[in-house]
Amino acid sequence: MAGAAVLLWETAGRTAACFSATTAAFHAGNAISLCERALTFLDRSHPKPEFAEFRAGKVFSMRMDVVSFTRQLIDIESTTGNEGPVGQFLAQELGRLGYEVQVTVAELGRANVFATSPQEPQSAVIFSTHMDTVPPYIPSSEDEQHIYGRGACDAKGIIAVQVAAAERLKQEGIYVGLLFVVGEERDSLGAKVANEQANSCKFLINGEPTENRIATASKGALRVEITASGRMAHSAYPELGDSAIDKLVEALHRLKRMQLPSDPEVGPCTMNVGVIEGGRAPNVIPDKARALLLFRLIGPSEPLREQIVATVGDLAKVDFTLDIPFVRLRTFEDLPTMVAAFTTDIPALSNWGQPLLLGPGSIHVAHTEGEYVEKKQLHQAVDLYCGIAKKLMGK
């Protein structure tokens, strides 16, 4: 079936396994209904006319228009949790372009999309990024030089670039795979599910906005919850109570004074006190207070965890709620480099070969109201992805 798209569905058992691995509330008995939902997800019973035409044997080869494809993707709202429609769109488009498309349900209504060419199902190079965005949804618009909208650079422009690069490579007889996952912006759920999937990938080129520079490292993240407890009393008689807020404030002061590591190449480990909450009323000595912190890691988290626990001492309870490791990445020839101070799906995709990190757009505008990507960077990125893939494959 050269040039044919085959939709490979996970078997009931496999889907159940993926699903049960990620959702505590899963019941083994609903595997079948889960698969039925997965089928509905792709709306197989109502293929688009192009798809029908394709099934009749027409071979598609298309030069992608990255700008319009980016805008099409932006216009499908896909804030984390709502990736269903954009995944469906991508699966259909990739099927139409002749890829074998595998859809793996990560959670009801949310599925990863993995596409390979029938000519080379065991691709050594995979382009990957995420389909979800942060809220709020912002529809697409453009001017001469930019595309605006939610996900323009993080990461829908990158999806368009990766598909366009794969299509251009295909015209030269070089076949790469494409992996688009859900949930990167929250907990890397899609990447964790994909990591259980068998693959033959040797090099994973992960896309995040790096302004088309190769990342030499990606900082990790350690989320910390500090909870102080006390005893309520009338505020006129503070000696009868025990203020949780006083303890929390003191703990935070100590943490702010803590010496954090720094690396001449990667930069400093940084700390943000993102949330503080607690207390009941101005005239009540507070019995509870809590702060949520995020450290950007430049090394292993263990020494820092110990330092935090020792610094807080018995002022409050310390819980570590998320730990994404720091990773050093390979550079590529003499391409310009950068350090990603943000986290990516790369640590969760450890079974997908050696990772590289590169993509168009700036992280400084990602997650902002004015998110955009430069059209010029999109076109440059297609060239870069093609060039890197060819060299990695020795072509």
Segment interacting with Zn ion (CB under 5 A) among 33-41, 64-72, 206-214, 368-376:
206-214
**CA-based nearest residue to 152, from 169, 134, 176, 127:** 134
> Per residue in 203-236, is it b (16+ CB within 10 Å) or e — as a string?
bbbbbbbbbbbbbbbbbbbbebbbbbebebbeee
Q: Encoding tokens for residue 193?
A: 């599910």
- Determine the Cα–Cα distance for residues 181 and 75; give it in Å rounded to an integer: 18
**CA-based nearest residue to 129, from 149, 153, 146:** 153
Q: Would you say 154 or 211 has its CB closer to Zn ion?
A: 154
Strands 288-297 and 317-324: unpaired
- Determine the Cα–Cα distance for residues 56 and 273; give it in Å rounded to an integer: 59
Q: Minimum distance from CB of 208 to Zn ion (Å)?
A: 5
With binding defined as CB under 5 A, does residue 345 bind Zn ion?
Answer: no
Q: Minimum distance from CB of 74 to Zn ion (Å)?
A: 14
Q: Minimum distance from CB of 170 to Zn ion (Å)?
A: 26
With binding defined as CB under 5 A, does residue 155 bind Zn ion?
Answer: yes
- Determine the Cα–Cα distance for residues 253 and 302; give it in Å rounded to an integer: 21
Strands (E), the chain: 7-9, 100-107, 110-116, 125-130, 141-142, 146-148, 177-181, 203-206, 214-218, 220-229, 262-263, 267-268, 270-278, 288-297, 317-324, 327-328, 337-340, 354-357, 372-374
- Determine the Cα–Cα distance for residues 220 and 373; give it in Å rounded to an integer: 25
Residue 6: what are its φ and ψ, rounded to 5°? -120, 125
Segment interacting with Zn ion (CB under 5 A) among 92-100, 186-194, 207-215, 260-268:
207-215
Segment interacting with Zn ion (CB under 5 A) among 98-106, 115-123, 135-143, 150-158:
150-158
Q: Minimum distance from CB of 253 to Zn ion (Å)?
A: 34
Stretch 157-196: interaction string toward Zn ion, x if CB under 5 A: ----------------------------------------
Q: Would you say 142 or 154 has its CB closer to Zn ion?
A: 154
With binding defined as CB under 5 A, does residue 132 bind Zn ion?
Answer: no
Segment interacting with Zn ion (CB under 5 A) among 32-40, 187-195, 201-209, 327-335:
201-209
Please, are residues 151 and 78 in contact by the beta-carbon 8 Å criterion? Answer: yes
With binding defined as CB under 5 A, does residue 251 bind Zn ion?
Answer: no
Q: Minimum distance from CB of 243 to Zn ion (Å)?
A: 41
For the question of residue 50 being annotated catalytic, the response is no
Q: Would you say 181 or 308 has its CB closer to Zn ion?
A: 181
Cα atoms in the Cβ-side hemisphere of radius 13 Å centred on 57 = 0
With binding defined as CB under 5 A, does residue 154 bind Zn ion?
Answer: yes
Segment interacting with Zn ion (CB under 5 A) among 32-40, 75-83, 154-162, 349-357:
154-162
Q: Would you say 38 or 181 has its CB closer to Zn ion?
A: 181
Q: Minimum distance from CB of 185 to Zn ion (Å)?
A: 7
Between residue 79 and residue 98, which ones bind Zn ion under the rule CB under 5 A? none
Q: Would you say 152 or 245 has its CB closer to Zn ion?
A: 152
Q: Encoding tokens for residue 89?
A: 């769109």
Tell me whether residue 369 is exposed, middle or buried, using C-beta atoms within 10 angstroms of its C-beta: 0 to 12, 13 to 18, 19 or more. Answer: exposed
Segment interacting with Zn ion (CB under 5 A) among 19-27, 32-40, 153-161, 215-223:
153-161
Q: Residue 91 region, left (φ>0) first, then alpha (ψ -120 to 50), else beta?
A: alpha
Q: Would you say 38 or 152 has its CB closer to Zn ion?
A: 152
Q: Would you say 186 or 330 has its CB closer to Zn ion?
A: 186
With binding defined as CB under 5 A, does residue 287 bind Zn ion?
Answer: no
Q: Would you say 151 or 278 has its CB closer to Zn ion?
A: 151
Q: What's the length of the chain?
A: 395
Q: Minimum distance from CB of 199 to Zn ion (Å)?
A: 21
Catalytic residue, candidates 93, 184, 208, 374 = 184
Positions in the binding site for Zn ion (CB under 5 A): 154-155, 208
Residues marked as catalytic: 184
